[in-house]
Structure 1
Amino acid sequence: MLEERVRFTEGEAAANLRTVLELCAAGEITCGRKTGLPLASGIHVVETHLVDGDFYEDDPIAAFAWPLLLQAGGLARVEGIQLQLTPSGQAALTEPAADVIRRLWQSWLTDGVIDEFSRIEEIQGPEQALTDVTPRRKVVAAALATCRLGKWVDVDALFERMQRDGLDPTIALNYKLVGDLYLVDPYYGGLGDDDWELLEGRYTLAVLFEYAATLGLIDVDYVHPDGAREDYRDNWGGDDLDALSRYDGLVAISLNALGAYALGLSDTYERPLTSHNR
């Protein structure tokens, strides 16, 4: 049986925000000059300074996300290969963390540096087959806003709710192009209209785990991704994969007070004294 871990993220996200801002001020985070993506050395620096470490030791999630979130929010920009604070980033060091995090989430929804679907490397295919990412992110945010404050919801139950309520972060431009997305082999491994959990579902997990959880908007119950989900096994080539994505281990989420504030569900933020048990 896979070992589950529950993390309450509000406090660590606030601490990590200040940490990554200070690392930028010191010029210690490196990113690609053209892509803006954190380099291996930059990821390592962030990873070693996260207050409770990354979600997994063997695959960066929060350490990958933080440099991108700062860029999307206009708090840092790449100069050479160093991520440097902007004037807004300098000002953020003295602002309440919750206010900065709220702006970072809203900025990510419209100006995210990457398409999160690109992080699901086992699914391949041409970028031209994909929909615009901004509407997809907003659908996931809308789905997250349906969660009750402090109540745990299994991700499969969230998937069912999204499909029932038409909250569909559609990945392929049309049904013909779905087949251009594939596992392992483009001829045999093409995906289909009935692969919602593999396409829209995995995209949803990526946004929630890598960005919402990193920013402290949701508490998470998770296991190691290898063997965590079986929904791709019947697809051609699926038996050769230990996991479809690094996000497969996300079991359940709970919208917390910081998440409600960032989503605009509450006008003020006050960190609770106790966490809601899983």
Structure 2
Amino acid sequence: MAEFVRHTERYAAEDVHAVLRLCDSGRLRCSEKTRRPAAASVVEVAKTLVSGDFYPDEPIAAFAWPLLVQAGGFAEITSGRLQVTAKGRAALAKPPATIIQAMWRSWLSKGLIDEFSRIESIKGQRAANVLTAPKARRQKVSEALTAQPVGEWVDVDALFAQMKQTAWSPRVARSERALWKLYLEDPHYGSLGYAGFGEWELLEGRYTLAVLFEYAATLGLIDVAYDEPVGARDDYHENWGADSFDALSRYDGLRAIRLNDLGAYVLGVRKSYTPPQPEAPERTLKVLPNLDVVAVGCPSPAELLVLESYARRTGDHVWTVSRESLLAAVDAGRQPDEFTAFLQARAAQPNLPGALLTLLDEVAERAGRLTDLGQVRLIACADPALATLISHDRALRSLCRLIGDQHLAVPVNRDEDFRRALTTLGYAVPVGASHPPAPPRPRASTDR
């Protein structure tokens, strides 16, 4: 019997929004070269997860989340920090299952790292022509997972037996020759090329465990039963250098998995999904008539992120809401009604103060009077007649907007279409031109 059992479905639904808000806070740092999260950022993510990571001192979910949001296009690295994208901000208003499905599908084809690289005890992975492409391996594990019975526990070793006997095996080494470059401890004595030393469980098995534990379980697709990794598996003990390791990987403790309803929906086994009834949040806040929000309990890290997005912290347990703080939230892409719903669900009193509701309505009304139409390229025409000609042309009028008498605003994403249609009309905009065109020169007189 495994020491730990985690039903991940409900946790992942809360974690996906919490991680997006954490990205929105600008606290997470990632390497612009490898796109992996910094160690301090992994700790920050772990503190934000509703039930913490699977192990207190071994990052699994906390390492995976920053990679998942990047692969899905929900966040991107800007100046070394992970920032939520427009897609990620819009996702905060969507059902968690929809976001998780998009993340899983994007990760299958656009994962940022090779998951096998997280099996650090197996050396030689960076040598040329050693490992197969991770995209194909991910797909194999996903196919194996899709074939499992929904709601039934499957022992990991039984799953391994299935995968070895079918086309679901995620081949890790490119060839028998490549196996000789993979090793434990010593490249010669510890090589996995020796007969019986590069077994399926060490390579394909450990890769499968990494995908299941670090990504499928993190996203809530499978429930997991697991032990501490130390001493959990002995399938590598006969290898040279094995005495140096208490476990071959951080994923060795995974004992059994269960495909849940969310996983069945994400993997396409079922066409619809009904999420479990969410637990009512604890009423840990008191909202005062002077627009102070006081913590009378212990708000979760995810709840603190929301508070700090809409209000300014003025004490150890106090946040002050103001017109300026709400407008700053709106400017960052957040919605006042989201904050209203957040407070109503967590306030100790039955009704929010009228002064706060009035302020929220005022900010929402003011924000609704301005609309961001996106970035445009501003093009100056030589004279109003040319600007009118272009803006009224049948092929061009949907690609530009007349600004004033002789300027055209072209959406950045329609720039190429605009230029193509413009040449058909008999004109062109020089690439890189940064000053208004000179008016046409008068023709020289032909009189002598």
1:190 maps to: 191
Q: 1:170 to 1:3 in 2, by over 3 A?
A: closer
Amino acid of the structure 1 residue aligned with 2:42: I
State the alpha-carbon separation in 2 of the partners of residues 18 and 96 from structure 1: 10
- Equivalent residue letter for 2:163: M
1:262 to 262, 266, 269: 266
Unaligned stretches of 5+ in structure 2? Answer: 278-448
Q: TM-score, normalised by structure 1?
A: 0.95
Aligned to 1:21: 20
What's the counterpart of residue 238 of structure 1? 242
1:56 aligns with 2:55: yes
Q: Structure 1, residues 173-210: CA drift from partner, whole Å, max 9, x if none?
A: 11111111111110011114751000000000000000
Q: Within 2, Cα distance between the matches of 1:3 and 1:49?
A: 26
- Structure 1: gaps spanning 5 or more residues: 274-278
How far 1:30 moved relative to its partner?
1.1
The amino acid across from 1:228 in the alignment is: A
Q: CA deviation at 1:166?
A: 2.7
Comparing 98-107 and 126-135, the one that deviates more: 126-135
Counterpart residue type for residue 53 of structure 1: G
Q: Identify the residue that residue 99 of structure 1 maps to in structure 2.
A: 98
Question: Would you say the 8 A contact 1:102–1:262 is kept in 2?
Answer: yes
C-alpha distance in structure 2 between counterparts of 1:166 and 1:185, whole Å: 32
Question: For residues 268 and 3 of structure 1, do their structure 2 counterparts lie closer, same or farther at Cα, with a shift above 3 Å needed?
Answer: closer
Q: Which amino acid aligns with 2:139?
A: K
Deviation readout 1:78-116 (Å, 9 max, x if unpaired): 011110011100010001100100010001100001000
Go from structure 1 to structure 2 and tell me whether the alpha carbon gap of 1:264 and 1:114 turns closer, same or farther (over 3 Å shift): same
C-alpha separation in 1, matches of 2:97 and 2:125: 38
Distance 2:227 2:123 in 1: 25
**SS state at 1:144 partner:** helix
Per the alignment, residue 66 of structure 1 pairs with 65
User: Which stretch shows the higher mean deviation, 241-250 or 118-127?
Assistant: 118-127
Q: CA deviation at 1:15?
A: 0.5
Q: In the alignment, which residue of structure 2 is the partner of 1:151? A: 152
Aligned to 1:276: none
Aligned pair count?
273
Deviation, structure 1 residue 126: 3.7
Runs (4+) of structure 1 moved beyond 3 Å? none
Provide the residue aligned with 2:289 in structure 1. none
Post-superposition shift, 1:3? 6.1
Q: Is contact 1:69–1:104 with CA below 8 Å preserved after alignment?
A: yes
Residue 189 of structure 2 aligns to which amino acid in structure 1? Answer: Y
Give the Cα–Cα distance (whole angstroms) in 1 for the partners of residues 35 and 164 of structure 2.
34
| Residue pair 1:189, 1:237 contacting (<8 A) in 2 also | yes
> CA-atom RMSD, angstroms?
1.4
Task: Determine the C-alpha separation between the residues in 1 that align with 2:165 and 2:32.
Answer: 43
Percent sequence identity is 55
Q: What amino acid does structure 2 have at the position aligned with 1:241?
A: F
Larger Rg belongs to: 2
